[in-house]
Structure 1
């Protein structure tokens, strides 16, 4: 492990201040950029136009740079060719003028050089932007350089250029910028030797590139303006084209939202015969088919609910008559033969199950019809939990199960429907006793400021992955053969889930093979409040590492880290 780097106190303070300001700036930037980022995520048209502008800007910029650079190079090459051609004629003229001199000491040589330089110059550079001619003789120390204009050429004719021309005898060129006549002017400087009978002199021809620079600048400006106009035009075209595509898609999204909200008669507008029109027509056909299927299913569901409700109500009357006769027979069973007495007991037990099934079917039909109402009142949940466990003690004793109750010593008051809460707990504890495999069942009650939670934990066979979502389905059984002997109607957990939803609460399940299961009922303390958390964990703390499964009947319930 590396040792920490020691820093002086001022440096550490500075680093802390920088980190604090960087966090503040980061939060401010996120706050300022939040609307733009939200618009970027939501608008397809904005993304397409922005990407088109970026891509076209890069392409147009690269093309414009290539055109401008190539144009400037062409202009410079043309200037090179013209200067080279002119330089050859000037050298010939200078050679013809100096060929009569045998020595450099001739007193008329200076006047001839001045005349030659003046004749070779093309106008006044300070007034008309003409060229500059300069003749030097670095091999003759006493020779004074002659220039066609009163211009300081030290910035234009550099030491490297003079060395190349004077010492190596080569033709050299360079582009330099100097101040002439109060303006910064770019010159193309050519240098070459002028042979004579007494030695060679250096002739420098300086041509201004004002025309070429002006033409290059005009080309750059034209390319820039044209590129900007092209980019803007591409952005407008991309926006218009995207709008033609996005508007039907937005219309389809709005229509789909209305369809999902239950407005089954909504349709898209079909214009033309293109692909978008085909999409709209297909969407409308799909919506029509869905409407027919939904109406058909709703009608079937309504008929099914009505059938269940009608059958349940109609069976009440004969069941009451049969119950009265069965009760009479059951009360006189001791006077019958053992076989007849046993039949009376079986008849009584099956009538109890049949009556329980009818009660559950009627309750389910009320939930399906939307007639279930919550009769909420401020209730102490501790006596309810104790009453449920006391009533199921006989069932637990027959199954060899011990019910362990863990409730607070103080009252737990919540605004609930006590009848429905007691029914949920009776289903949960009864299922835990039946599936507990003879091991203890823990019932725990806890509360906080916003919620009340009750967990029922057993240590039976548990739930396999995926079964935790099926336990709340109607008539579902984890072990059909076993449940038909000891189980109920298969509607208990479904009714319990509906009771939890009616309270605005959660009914959740956890299970692991061989580790048992735990169900948690969470209800708001005040009716109508939204649940945010539960005071008890869904996954028990005593669980061993194993494959686990959790599920909740409330899809909006937040995930919980235990």
Structure 2
């Protein structure tokens, strides 16, 4: 067993190392992508650098090729002229000796030696030439060579071309590496071969070996110079692009930073204006915009303050006459049995509307406190399950009148959280009243869930539901899903708006989900500790049965649903469902 476990352990360690390397590579690539997307200066400099490299490479290649062709062609032309002059000199010397001495060629080797010394510059009065010469003839003493040149150094392809009838009177050239005797490595050499025809009918093969070492060195220096100059040119263009883009991007970056500070509420933020160019005019326009925006915001704040103060003052001032009217209405309502039926019904209606009016005044005062930023929390560590039970107890009478039952799904363990007991209970009452009003007499499901950081309460009804887009509009003040439908429980239209403000004051979420024909669900999520940031909710916003149907349609796709009876989760999978919903 140990030998089997070791390879597995090594493979597991190798996979972990490779996984870590891939993760670091992905993070590095992601960081580079973010840097590329966020930096205009980097984009411009990189684009300029890439284009400059392409242009320099193309131009450098073209120049190097042209210089190489020019040098090689010039060297080949001069070498061909020198080789032709040597062949003429050899032919003249041999023909003249033959004319002076007749057909006897016993002294011809001496003539070849003299001619070889003359054309290679190896004589007493000559200067040594840069090239070597090889003369070949079928006679035993008809071949001569200078330096370390051997007949084996003649390229076979050159000799074959020289022997072809079509090239019999033409000189042939070969440029390539030649391995000379005694040399360590082959050297680039230009070999020019030609035939010398004597009057006696004899033919001599003359080969000139022109070394190309100096030309090769010169071309290497030229290529190195082109690379160095090109690299310096690319860096220079990149530096120029950096400086130019910095002159443009820096004011834009300052404008962005000023705009961010302006958006954060620093209305006195302004840009420095330098010069009269386009960027200076941009700064001037930005400052004018900021000044006008600050003025408009100040005016709107004053108007809003006036409106909030008006609502608050009206609400307070209405309380005094409302108290008097309420006292009179109570007397009339208590004595309604002594009135005729029409007057008795009027007293009942007046009593109900006065109660609604009082509730609306209380909601308006609460809204005005939120608008003025004067709302505060009275925090206490409580069990959210107890708050839910109290809210349900307050709603039972209304639920009985609408023939609605509550279905509770509470966890077994306490769900402690630092909350304002009064405000959270008001949120739950508003959610329950709303579910009763729109539930059309069907059961209302109340679910409580909790995790390490947060607690949540979901209120689910099975009424008419919400249309697409209404899940956010439902929290607007005085909003109704159906304006033609009258309120059956006397609500003010501010309950959900106040509930959302209460949730936000706790640092929590109040969210809604709805689907026509499927009802709706409201979810309240609060942090366990006051001031903590929420990262998620222990309950799903979409009801479990709706998620289950989506799971069935998705064929074996797992979905997390809140497990009944505790705060955990259970996975629901497709169990061979055929894809059709059931009622």
Q: Which TM-score band applies after superposition, normalised by the shorter structure?
A: 0.7 to 0.9
Question: For residues 187 and 371 of structure 1, what CA distance do their matches in structure 2 show?
Answer: 97
Q: Which residue of 1 aligns with 2:112?
A: 113
- 1:288-307 to 2 correspondence within 5 Å? 288-307=291-310
Report the CA distance between 1:41 and its aligned residue.
4.0
Report the CA distance between 1:511 and its aligned residue.
0.8
2:158 to 161, 169, 172: 161
Q: Which residue of 1 aligns with 2:463?
A: 460
Contact 1:404 1:442 in 2 (8 A): yes
Question: For residues 110 and 426 of structure 2, what CA distance do their matches in structure 1 show?
Answer: 128
Question: For residues 480 and 270 of structure 2, what CA distance do their matches in structure 1 show?
Answer: 43
2:87 to 64, 69, 91: 91
- 1:145-544 to 2 correspondence within 5 Å? 145-151=143-149, 154-155=152-153, 157-166=154-163, 169=168, 171-178=171-178, 185-196=187-198, 197-484=200-487, 486=489, 488-543=491-546
1:18 to 1:146, Cα distance in 2 relative to 1, 3 A: farther
Report the CA distance between 1:21 and its aligned residue.
4.8
Q: Deviations over 1:508-536 (max 9, x none)?
A: 11111111100001111222222222111
> Please, which moves more after superposition, 528-537 or 460-469?
528-537
**SS state at 1:206 partner:** strand
Question: For residues 61 and 482 of structure 2, what CA distance do their matches in structure 1 show?
Answer: 77
Question: For residues 227 and 367 of structure 1, what CA distance do their matches in structure 2 show?
Answer: 68
Q: Which residue of 2 aligns with 1:53?
A: 49
> Please, which moves more after superposition, 41-50 or 268-277?
41-50
Contact 2:399 2:405 in 1 (8 A): yes
Contact 1:136 1:144 in 2 (8 A): yes
Report the CA distance between 1:70 and its aligned residue.
0.4
Report the CA distance between 1:357 and its aligned residue.
0.4
> Please, which moves more after superposition, 13-22 or 23-32?
13-22
Question: For residues 128 and 532 of structure 1, what CA distance do their matches in structure 2 show?
Answer: 91
Report the CA distance between 1:333 and its aligned residue.
1.0
Contact 2:382 2:418 in 1 (8 A): yes
Contact 1:101 1:198 in 2 (8 A): no
1:329 to 1:17, Cα distance in 2 relative to 1, 3 A: closer
Report the CA distance between 1:393 and its aligned residue.
2.0
Contact 2:356 2:490 in 1 (8 A): no
1:383 to 1:150, Cα distance in 2 relative to 1, 3 A: closer
CA RMSD, 1 decimal? 3.1
Contact 1:464 1:512 in 2 (8 A): yes
Report the CA distance between 1:171 and its aligned residue.
2.8
Report the CA distance between 1:105 and its aligned residue.
9.4
How many residue pairs match? The answer is 535
Question: For residues 394 and 474 of structure 1, what CA distance do their matches in structure 2 show?
Answer: 26
Report the CA distance between 1:282 and its aligned residue.
1.7
Question: For residues 386 and 214 of structure 2, what CA distance do their matches in structure 1 show?
Answer: 103
Question: For residues 382 and 28 of structure 1, what CA distance do their matches in structure 2 show?
Answer: 45
TM-score normalised by L of structure 1: 0.87
Q: Which residue of 2 aligns with 1:62?
A: 58
Report the CA distance between 1:216 and its aligned residue.
2.5
Unaligned ranges ≥5, structure 2: 1-5, 552-570, 573-583
Question: For residues 366 and 310 of structure 1, what CA distance do their matches in structure 2 show?
Answer: 12
Report the CA distance between 1:185 and its aligned residue.
4.5
1:77 to 1:276, Cα distance in 2 relative to 1, 3 A: same
